[in-house]
Structure 1
Amino acid sequence: MNDSRLGVVGSLLIAVVVLFSLSGDAISPLLAGRGLHAVFSEAGGLVEGDPVVVSGMTVGRVEDVELRDTDVLVSFTVDEPDLRVGEGSTAAIKAQSALGEKALSLAPAGPGELPNDAQIPLSRTIAPYDVTQALQSLTDTTSRLDTDRLTTALTAVADTLDGTARSAPQALSGLRRLAESVNARDAELRSLLEHARATTEVLAGHQQDLRAIFDQGTALLTALNQRQAAIERLLADLTTTADQLDALARENDAQLRPALTELRSAVAILRDNRDQLTAALHEAVPMLRTLGEVLSTMPALDAFFANIPPTNAVPGLQDLLGRGTR
């Protein structure tokens, strides 16, 4: 029984080994990480097995460097599962050490994430500096120089400098006088610096007072800002109220205008009546004074008032005036 189980287990192990052997190309990306590509104008010494770094940290390795028609295709893997390589990522070949070891520097950028087997184009890659190409460019540039014009320019410069030989002592003498003047003012400069230092010390000693003044000024400005905001809100409310009253007056103008006219007429009538009553009272004063004098001297009085009905014609008038009075 034990031999049978051992045989089954051995058979399964052999099957797994055969499966890995036959499907290594499909499984290796899963084991090795994400596979990406980058196109460079030149390899710059980068070889298979060199590290792939992001911010100085190794995150993968170079798997292959393939020469194409006019550029180089570098295939590499990224082993960090949490590293997001955006759609705008760039790549560069940089020196890893002073011994000439190279590394593929990856700079993740952009939105999204590059899918497996994606390619970073030539526009987003940087090849290492080529000294040979730089020397070749220097040779081409120097070969196009006009030596005759260069000789003429150098001769003109030499002649100009030769003419300034006589004025050089004067310039040096001027510099010497300037130095003497600065040296003579050294005491004044020292005094100025001392006063500046004293002023700085005074300001430093009143730092708390200045800070309190600034704080109070800040509080004052805050209060002013609040009052300004309140006044602005009040003006806005008053403007709205005025607009509403104006609209109300325009809407009810047909009804309010006749009412106001009648009110003015009633006021005018009341004013006329007030004036007439005032005049009547003014004229009645002498009569009332005379009537009082007569009543005070006589036991009885008969009086006739025009336009006033007799007392027996108005019910209750006798009670009001007195029954025994004639």
Structure 2
Amino acid sequence: MNERNPLRVGIVTLVVIGLVAGLVIFLSVSTFGTKKYTALLEHTAGLRKGEDVQVHGVISGKVTGIEIQDDHVQVTFALDSDISLGDRSTATVKVATLLGTHYLEVDPNGTGSLAGNRIPLDRTSVPYNLQDVIEKGTDALDELDPELLAKALTAMAGTLGASQDEIGPALEGVARLSEVVSKRSDQVGDLLASTRKVTDQLSASSQDIVGLMEQTNLVVSEITARREAIHRLLVETTDLSKALTAIVKSTNGKLKPALKDVKAVLDTLNSQDKQLTTLLENMAPAVRYVANATGSGPYLPLYLKPPAIPADDTTCKLEGTCQR
């Protein structure tokens, strides 16, 4: 390098640096694999250069330039070359986040190709902004009576001032309610869905419910018509209960020993239950064998005369032995 001309080396170095810088600039502005389009907007609505271009919700390009023209704004954007815009394509500026970022939504409609790669003003839209609200609300504000509006605002301010102690807790309650609803949104959704099902079921069964109410009305009417009979029945039932109570009280001295005797008999039978069961089981075959041995059939004839067996009324009448 010491033997070379320093001037030539410097010139060559500057040329190389210039070429590299030009190449970098070219690569930074070049859009390989993309195609440029333009869209005419009423205003930018906050759209800035470098923001995304989306097609059906997918990021497919970038906004490359914004230029102000006579009564509109021309937005230049690069879109992936594999996406073709038809002759009815539309473009819309939309808000991406609450922090103020936007994106350009392109909808490739129609057939063929977009004329001049430009989307005209009648097929673009921008989000609603404060300027539109002010312009559309000016006419309505002009029609208002300022004196009447001032009186209304004064009355409202006085009402709010008088109830300021109640407004604070009320707002806190609303905030807490909103927080609870937000935390339990799933449960609230399930509750509303269940309520909708119940409402649908009631609506489907409206005829049955009306019929049931009509039947209930008939029952109430019948009860009302027979109120006196029901009252008399209740009174007589009360009298009967009082009479039975009096009978039980009057015979208490006799019933108590009788019940004791009955209890003693039952206790005796229960204690001899096994013996009585065995007796009946053994007695049945014996009685059957005795009856068969007599030769008169499955019974045992007995021939006894009174007074061994008391005579019935017919026998005593025939014999003239009836006593009174």
Pick the TM interval, shorter chain: 0.3 to 0.5
The TM-score, its normalising length taken from structure 1, stands at 0.37
- Computing the radius of gyration from Cα coordinates, the structure with the larger value is 1
Using the size of structure 2 for normalisation, the TM-score is 0.38
